[in-house]
């Protein structure tokens, strides 16, 4: 039933009071107007009758009015014509674009510059192109890793491309978000990674000096600036890069690369000390190469994120692929959250979100939605929005979780001892260790009990070459299609079985039909006994529906109206 509009009726006392206030206000306004001396403009008296040439003056006034009206009409017509021309041009352009798409014409190698302009900035090919520009232009490449899952943030294709490039390019690993990991775990990871590449511990500043940010801090005085505005490890990293530049005797360009939401742009902002690059919780905000000058000798190049390969596991795709939580479907996000929760300890997840015991991910999300008051009409938990929120917490800097480094140090095949020595050349490793120890001492860390233990899926494969990029939407859609195809095949097989079963029944006599009925009922009984209590109610309902269908098929036309006592218990 629709709710009625609220009544506008009120008590007489209230109404009279409002009227009195209005009268007082008007009186006040009139008094102020008198003081100001503001009077109403007097009406034009017109030409007096005694004035000579009165008729001529009136005619001239009318003529002026007519001219002004004509001018206005002409201007209006001119505007309309211009609008029509613009519309026609736009329509022609749209028609040409539609024709090109329909014909599928692609410009040849002669007009490569035009095709570059036509590429959409949100496309994966554009991201790959911009990333390759950064890799080619940079002398030192900083691969940014999330300290919560460093191995999952490493891209073997990128590391191989840099180490085997042949030039004097160096690769540095930057462990970002170290304030979200227990101290012991962080030390283990630093000891593990420094054996392969020089590694810098870093904590970037999230709130930088900006006009909008200043207003935000003024409004809310309780912002904890120790967590937001301070950065740790920036001096160590800058010193390392400047010393490397002096050894090269030239100005160096430093490229910052990594998967989405590892904190590439926030590292550049904290090194610069000002908000130079856009930063957001959403993935894929940086869409093109951006140059930031730090000093005369160092330039930093911000790059778009690496695109995760569709062949990766569901966990890697959930945390490392560019999924827009607002635009992507609920199935993508739900599958991602399911993969994350399956790789964590259940008790720690329950402790962190303070939820009761749950059997599966959907139940966990429904419990969390009820706890946080995210409900739809009729009190139904809003699972889609709560799943998006959980995924943003895990990829952003809210949730504290940590993964353990591998037990044995086995470097990838492209990293030989010679390559490791080449990558460490030109860097003062003693100063780097001192800087890392200083940053570790300065920071506050979460306790191991409050941090969730997480099973990493290993290195994440990425696509760097533009030719290998698949532009068929998200990786999740491809998986969904494969599942749908499998379901369709199963349904077809079931239909074929049912058809064969009905044909054999039609050929048999009435006596044989009764025997078949008894056999089917026995099978139904056995099926019910075999089903475990863990099966869901939906599966039971489907079984009942299928058995009832088989009985309706077996019965002849004469027995349709009569009640069959054999099928009573099915």
Say whether pLDDT at 28 is over 90.
yes
> What are the start-end ranges of the E strands in 180-232?
199-201
Residue 543, domain member (yes or no): no
Q: How many residues does the chain have?
A: 570
- H or E segment to which residue 562 belongs: none
Examine the domain organization and report whether 301 and 411 are in the same domain.
yes
Examine the domain organization and report whether 148 and 167 are in the same domain.
yes
User: Would you say 169 and 141 are in contact if contact means Cβ atoms under 8 Å apart?
Assistant: yes
Domain count, the chain: 2
Examine the domain organization and report whether 268 and 373 are in the same domain.
no
Examine the domain organization and report whether 154 and 280 are in the same domain.
yes
Examine the domain organization and report whether 253 and 319 are in the same domain.
no
Examine the domain organization and report whether 243 and 350 are in the same domain.
no
- Kindly report the average pLDDT of the chain as a whole number: 76
Q: Of 375, 395, 415, which residue is a domain's last?
A: 395
Give the C-alpha distances (Å, rounded to integers) separating 32 from 18, 21, 29, 36, 40.
Answer: 21, 17, 5, 6, 14
Residue 386, domain member (yes or no): yes
Examine the domain organization and report whether 243 and 374 are in the same domain.
no
Examine the domain organization and report whether 266 and 231 are in the same domain.
yes
Among 25-39, 79-93, 417-431, name the most confident range. Answer: 79-93
DSSP code of residue 300: E
Examine the domain organization and report whether 178 and 257 are in the same domain.
yes
Residue 82, domain member (yes or no): no
Among 36-50, 424-438, 474-488, name the most confident range. Answer: 424-438
Enclosing domain of residue 434? 124-208+227-309+405-446+459-463
The vertex-490 CA angle with 486 and 493, nearest 5°, equals 140
pTM for the whole structure: 0.58
Examine the domain organization and report whether 289 and 351 are in the same domain.
no
Examine the domain organization and report whether 150 and 203 are in the same domain.
yes
Residue 219, domain member (yes or no): no
Residue 156, domain member (yes or no): yes
Q: Of 434, 463, 492, which residue is a domain's last?
A: 463
DSSP code of residue 567: G
Lowest mean pLDDT among 28-42, 125-139, 178-192, 526-540: 526-540
Examine the domain organization and report whether 298 and 338 are in the same domain.
no
Report the CATH number at residue 367.
1.10.1580
Among 69-83, 88-102, 131-145, 486-500, name the most confident range. Answer: 69-83
Q: Of 435, 463, 491, which residue is a domain's last?
A: 463
Residue 71, domain member (yes or no): no
pLDDT in tens, 201-244: 988 877 655 434 443 444 444 444 344 567 888 888 888 888 88
Report the CATH number at residue 252.
3.40.50.300
DSSP code of residue 472: S
Residue 83, domain member (yes or no): no
Residue 490, domain member (yes or no): no
- Buried (b) or exposed (e) across 90-123, using 16+ Cβ within 10 A? eeeeeeeeeeeeeeeeeeeeeeeeeeeeeeeeee
């Amino acid at each position: 039933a629709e709710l009625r509009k609220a009544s506008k009726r009120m008590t007489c006392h209230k109404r009279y009071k409002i009227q009195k206030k209005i009268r007082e206000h008007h009186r006040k306004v009139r008094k102020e107007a008198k003081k100001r001396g503001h009077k109403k403009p007097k009406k034009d008296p017109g030409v007096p009758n005694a004035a000579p040439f009165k008729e001529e003056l009136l005619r001239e006034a009318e003529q002026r009015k007519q001219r002004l009206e004509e001018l206005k009409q002409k201007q209006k017509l001119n505007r309309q014509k211009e609008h029509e021309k613009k519309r026609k041009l736009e329509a022609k352009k749209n028609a040409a674009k539609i024709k090109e798409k329909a014909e599928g014409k692609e410009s040849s190698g002669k007009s490569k510059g035009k095709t570059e302009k036509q590429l959409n900035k949100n496309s994966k090919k554009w991201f790959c192109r911009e990333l390759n520009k950064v890799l080619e232009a940079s002398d030192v490449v900083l691969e940014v890793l999330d300290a919560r899952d460093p191995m999952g943030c490493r891209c073997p294709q990128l590391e191989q491309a840099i180490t085997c490039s042949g030039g004097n390019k160096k690769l540095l690993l930057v462990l970002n978000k170290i304030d979200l990991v227990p101290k012991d775990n962080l030390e283990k990871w630093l000891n593990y990674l420094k054996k392969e590449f020089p590694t810098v511990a870093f904590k970037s500043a999230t709130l930088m000096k900006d006009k909008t940010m200043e207003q935000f801090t003024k409004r809310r005085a309780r912002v904890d600036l120790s967590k937001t505005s301070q950065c740790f490890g920036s001096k160590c990293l800058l010193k390392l890069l400047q010393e490397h530049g002096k050894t090269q005797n030239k100005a160096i360009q430093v490229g910052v690369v990594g998967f989405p939401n590892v904190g590439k742009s926030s590292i550049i902002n904290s090194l610069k000390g000002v908000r130079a690059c856009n930063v957001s919780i959403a993935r894929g905000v940086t869409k093109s190469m951006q140059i930031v000058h730090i000093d005369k000798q160092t330039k930093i190049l911000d790059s778009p994120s690496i695109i995760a390969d569709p062949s990766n596991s569901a966990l890697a795709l959930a945390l490392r692929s560019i999924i827009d939580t607002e635009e992507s479907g609920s199935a993508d996000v739900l599958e991602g959250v399911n993969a994350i929760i399956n790789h964590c300890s259940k008790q720690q997840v329950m402790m962190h979100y303070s939820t009761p015991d749950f059997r599966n991910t959907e139940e966990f999300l429904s419990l969390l939605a009820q706890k946080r008051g995210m409900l739809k009409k009729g009190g139904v938990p809003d699972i889609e929005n709560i799943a998006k929120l959980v995924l943003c917490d895990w990829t952003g800097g809210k949730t504290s979780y940590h993964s353990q480094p591998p037990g044995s140090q086995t470097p990838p095949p492209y990293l030989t001892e010679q390559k490791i020595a080449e990558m460490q050349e030109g860097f003062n490793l003693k100063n780097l260790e001192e800087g890392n120890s200083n940053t570790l001492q300065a920071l506050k860390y979460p306790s191991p009990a409050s941090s969730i233990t997480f099973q990493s899926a290993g290195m994440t494969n990425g696509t760097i070459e533009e030719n290998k990029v698949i532009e068929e939407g998200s990786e999740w859609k491809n998986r969904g299609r494969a599942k749908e195809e499998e379901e369709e095949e199963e349904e077809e097989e079931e239909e074929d079985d049912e058809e064969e079963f009905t044909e054999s029944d039609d050929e048999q006599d009435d006596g044989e039909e009764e025997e078949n009925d008894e056999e089917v009922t026995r099978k139904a009984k056995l099926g019910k006994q075999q089903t475990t209590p863990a099966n869901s109610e939906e599966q039971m309902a489907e079984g009942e529906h299928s058995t009832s269908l088989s009985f309706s098929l077996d019965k002849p036309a004469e027995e349709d109206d009569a009640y069959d006592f054999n099928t009573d218990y099915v």
